[in-house]
Amino acid sequence: MKNEGDKIILKCDKNKSGQVWVETIVYTLIALSLIGLFVTFAKPKIEEIQDKSIVEQSTDILEEVNGVIISMIQGGSGNQRVIEMGIKKGIFKIDGTKNQLSFEIEGKYTYTEPGDGGTPGPYIQVGNLLASTQKRGKVSTVTLLSNYSNIYDIKYKESEESKSITRAPVPYKLVISNQGESGGIPIINFDLQ
């Protein structure tokens, strides 16, 4: 009888041990499912917050460039400044033909009211900048613009060309110089070091 009783006790221990393993696996699967659901719902919001931060940093960069231009005009011809500019996302454009500087950032964040049917919304004044948003599906393209038409003659490498600067692991060194006037309009030249 003792032997049979020992077998029964062993069977109970094996059943309890198996039950513990099954419960552990079930609880682990439930935890992983909850984590997956959280990531599914939280990830888009986190990306939107990151994109908002990038748009705000881009606004700050354009405002800083504008401040440097103003101080160089006050300093006179030949004045030059170097700005370190980190681009985490988007494209910084120097447009010599239109005398504009702009940032275009694609992401989840809608900065201004977008236009209808995937068209860009109207430009609105944000500080010294103009801002517009174009929405295509879940992706928004935010455009920040510093328009210097009839104020400054913007050039890249002393010519009327355009230059697009994209994301890079290290900051760019943007050289901005006051090259005098032409027809009463200051010439501001941009270059990369």
Whole-number average pLDDT of the chain: 89
User: Can you give the pTM of this predicted structure?
Assistant: 0.77
Is the Cβ–Cβ distance between 69 and 152 less than 8 Å? yes
Which tens digits make up the pLDDT trace of 130-143? 999 999 998 999 99
Q: Any idea what the Cα angle at residue 105 is, between residues 102 and 108, rounded to 5°?
A: 150
DSSP string for residues in 96-138: TTTTEEEEEEEES---S---GGGPPPPPEEETTEEEEEEEETT
Domain extent listing, the chain: 3-192
Is the Cβ–Cβ distance between 78 and 85 less than 8 Å? no
Is the Cβ–Cβ distance between 78 and 188 less than 8 Å? no
- Say which amino acid occupies 53: S
Mean pLDDT of 65-88: 91
Which tens digits make up the pLDDT trace of 95-118? 999 999 999 999 999 999 998 888
The tokens 């006037």 sit on which residue? Answer: 181
Q: Does residue 14 register a pLDDT over 70?
A: no
Mark 46-68 as b/e (b = at least 16 C-beta within 10 Å).
Answer: eeeeebbebbebbbebbbebbeb
The dihedrals phi and psi of 110, each to the nearest 5 degrees, come to -100, 110
